[in-house]
Amino acid sequence: MFNKKVGLAVAAILLAPVAAVAADAPPAAFNQCKACHKVEAGKHGVGPSLAGVYGAKAGHAEGYKYSDNHKASGLTWDDANLAKYLADPKGTIPGNKMAFAGLKKPEDVAAVIGYLKTLK
């Protein structure tokens, strides 16, 4: 018979090393962002560099030309605002120029925010 406790313990042991190795690696969902965003400070693509974005104010990256609506949003990129924005960029900041529909899965939003926190 399947023992649920043993099964969970085995799963935890098997998954733990993977989680440790992957701590600072981008989650799969971040691949969609790479088309427009670089993670090195000062390097911009279609979108601004995401280095240091966590905890910063909207429009944080120097040398990048943001839309007026984006700058005027006054948002600070904490967990709550990032979660809203990444799920629905256009709904969160109407008229901003990030041409991205949004991440549909909450677990992808959480994984991407966790990764953004590691970008200094």
- Residue 53 sits at φ, ψ, to 5 deg, of -70, -30
Binding segment (CB under 6 A) for ligand HEC, from list 2-10, 19-27, 32-40: 32-40
Q: What is the DSSP string of the chain?
A: ---HHHHHHHHHHHHHHHHHHTTTSPPGGGHHHHTT---STT--SSS---TT-TTSBTT-STT----HHHHHT--B-SHHHHHHHHH-HHHHSTT----------HHHHHHHHHHHTT--
Nearer to ligand HEC, 6 or 102 (CB): 102
Q: Which residues from 80-109 bind ligand HEC, rule CB under 6 A?
A: 86, 96-100, 103
Nearer to ligand HEC, 7 or 57 (CB): 57
Does position 48 interact with ligand HEC (CB under 6 A)? The reply is yes
Candidate list 47, 51, 92, 111; residue touching ligand HEC; CB under 6 A: 47
Nearer to ligand HEC, 11 or 60 (CB): 60
Q: Which residues bind ligand HEC (CB under 6 A)?
A: 32-33, 35-37, 46-48, 50, 53, 58-61, 66-67, 70, 77, 86, 96-100, 103, 112
